[in-house]
Structures are given as C-alpha cells and as structure tokens.
C-alpha cells in the first residue's frame, strides 16, 4: 500500500492520479476535509481508503498496523499558509507531524518522500543551492519546513530507508482550485480574463519593471514525475530543489494565458498593473530560480515544461468544459 498525506491537495491528488495511471489503486489518502470542496480532487480517482489526518496520526503514534504492508509514504500534508503566525500550531502540524511519520517509516521500512519548500531560502541573498548558508526563513511556514530539513540532516548516517525532501518552487496546474487566494497566478489570470478580459499583476519593485519579477514556475506534472522517479529509485535519498532551474517573469505567465485565450476564440485580453501591496514590501521574493544540480547529480534526467508549455496544457484542462460547450 502507498500512503499519500495531503492527498486531496494539488500535488497529492496529482500523485494519486499518476499512481492510478500506473494501475496502482492500493492507496490510502490522508487529509483534513474541513473544506469539503477538496473532495473534487479525488472524485475521479481510485483509492483503497481515506483517513482523517488526526485519526492517521494517532494510528501511527500508537503503533496500529494497516491492512497491508506500506511501501511508501508521500507526505504532502501541512499547513501551507505563509501568513499563519501561530507558531505552536504550525510546528505541531508541520514539524512534529513530519517527525512522527519519518520515524514510523523507518520502523516499518517504508520509503518517505516529503514536501519541503523553497521558502526556506527566504529572500535568497545567497542563492538557491541546498546548503545551510543559503537558508534564512522569514515566516513560520518556512521555518517549520527548514527545521524539519535540519532534523533530517541531523540523522545522517542513521537512516536505514529512503528519505527524500523536495523543496518545491512555484507549482501550478490541475486540481488547485480549492486553494482560493493561494492558487497559482495562471489560475487567477485565467479567471480574471474570463470575468472581464483584464489580468492584474503587481507593479515593479526593487529595480524590477512592472510584472518583471521572476519565479521558477513548475508545472505539477513535472513535480509528480520527480516524485515517482524517486519512488522507483529507493536507493536515492537527500534534500533536493524541485524546480525547472529557469526563472520566468509574471509577464511571461500572463502572456501565455492571454495567448491561449486568443487561440481559442477570446482575443483582446489586457494586462493591468496594480500598486505593490505595502504589507509585502521586504517580505516578497522578487526572484526565485532553483539550483537543480543536486537533482541532476542524483540521476534525474527528466525535462521540465517551460511556462509557455505548461500554461497551455493547464489552460486546456482548466477550460475543457467551456470549450466543449462552445464547440472549441
């Protein structure tokens, strides 16, 4: 059996879909469905069982067995709100939860593939290589991810089974609508263009022109491919950046969305630049670009989608129902 925590989320549900595509349905999804709309991410997927996060943690802590041997755990479950400052809550749900699962996986011989975050680099004054000198988290979410990476590092030489941490950069793609305001910019640009034909971006800041801030945008299909490669290579462990290795601007993202709409009968999309929010000044990453040398050195050779390629695929999926209705 394979366990996917946060299995109703963006990356988790896409991992489940990819496992299904391999013919694997012996999957336990763990999540916290207080937002019941997240079930839409699972409705077309096939799993063996579902368990609430709290019930799952108790089961693991008290040593209860599952119905079948556990081959691997993809741990995506976490509080991902970068605006949450209840440190006790964040450390319990992100740090302690991850520690519990780490030791349990070691005890049962299961592969452990967990979500870290590129947010551990903070404002990234020193770059994005996976070394301690580059890590300076600036919010509680980032700190919880950083501290768990540190905990894993402290166990170097003691771990008997695979442990892999993925520092995700800006992941976007199908099955993210439940994230609301935290959904990706392609998702929001698409909705804005559908609503009134105008997509909104931040004005420039810190020497960047309007919309020219750059991020490493990762299509979720690529993020899943990396996860499954490590599942297939249980001898590989470590903490790895999961990005494309190429920064692209928000202007490139919005232009890719506008281009898709123009090619599907909706020309004339416009861009509006809005004032940069005061509360984000000094706490905003204007540039991110994954250093993927370690990932390549581990043996992963997969190609990553560019923004233009990934956004086009995403728009096909996101607007499929509308295209069908319009005969597009």
Active-site annotation, residues: 141, 179
The whole-angstrom distance between residue 247's C-alpha and the CA centroid of its chain comes to 17
Distance of CA 158 to CAs 72, 163, 201, 283, Å? 19, 11, 47, 37
- 8 Å CB contact between 219 and 175: no
CA distance 2 to 47: 10
Structure tokens at 61: 């802590």
How far is it, in rounded angstroms, from Cα 241 to Cα 168?
A: 6
> Is 97 in contact with 57 (CB distance < 8 Å)?
yes
CA angle 77, 79, 85 (to 5 degrees): 160
Write out the H or E segment, with its range, that includes residue 87.
helix 87-90
Q: Which of 256, 142, 178, 196 is nearest to 11 (CA)?
A: 178
């Amino acid at each position: 059996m394979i366990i996917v925590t946060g299995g109703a989320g963006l990356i988790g549900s896409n991992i489940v879909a990819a496992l299904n595509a391999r013919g694997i349905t012996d999957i336990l999804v763990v999540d916290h469905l207080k937002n019941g709309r997240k079930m839409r991410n699972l409705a077309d997927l096939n799993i063996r069982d579902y368990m609430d996060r709290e019930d799952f943690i108790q089961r693991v802590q008290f040593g209860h067995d599952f119905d079948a041997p556990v081959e691997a755990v993809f741990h995506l479950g976490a509080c991902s709100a970068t605006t949450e400052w209840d440190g006790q809550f964040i450390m319990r749900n992100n740090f302690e939860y991850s520690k519990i699962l780490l030791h349990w996986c070691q005890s049962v011989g299961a592969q452990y593939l967990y979500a870290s975050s590129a947010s551990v680099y903070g404002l990234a004054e020193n770059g994005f290589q996976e070394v301690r000198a580059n890590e300076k988290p600036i919010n509680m979410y980032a700190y919880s991810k950083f501290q768990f990476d540190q905990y894993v590092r402290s166990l170097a030489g003691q771990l008997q089974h695979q442990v892999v941490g993925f520092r995700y950069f800006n992941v976007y793609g199908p099955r993210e609508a439940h994230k609301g305001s935290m959904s990706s910019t392609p998702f929001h640009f698409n909705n804005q263009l559908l609503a009134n034909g105008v997509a909104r971006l931040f004005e420039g800041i810190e020497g960047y022109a309007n919309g020219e801030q750059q991020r490493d945008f990762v299509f979720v299909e690529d993020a899943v491919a990396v996860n499954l490669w490590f599942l297939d290579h249980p001898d590989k462990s470590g903490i790895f950046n999961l990005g494309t290795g190429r920064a692209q601007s928000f202007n490139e993202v919005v232009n890719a969305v506008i281009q898709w709409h123009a090619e599907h009968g909706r020309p004339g999309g416009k861009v509006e630049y809005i004032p940069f929010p005061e509360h984000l000044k000094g706490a905003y990453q204007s540039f991110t670009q994954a250093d993927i040398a370690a990932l390549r050195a581990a043996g992963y050779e997969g190609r990553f989608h560019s923004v233009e390629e990934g956004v086009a695929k995403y728009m096909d999926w996101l607007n499929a129902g509308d295209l069908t209705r319009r005969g597009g």
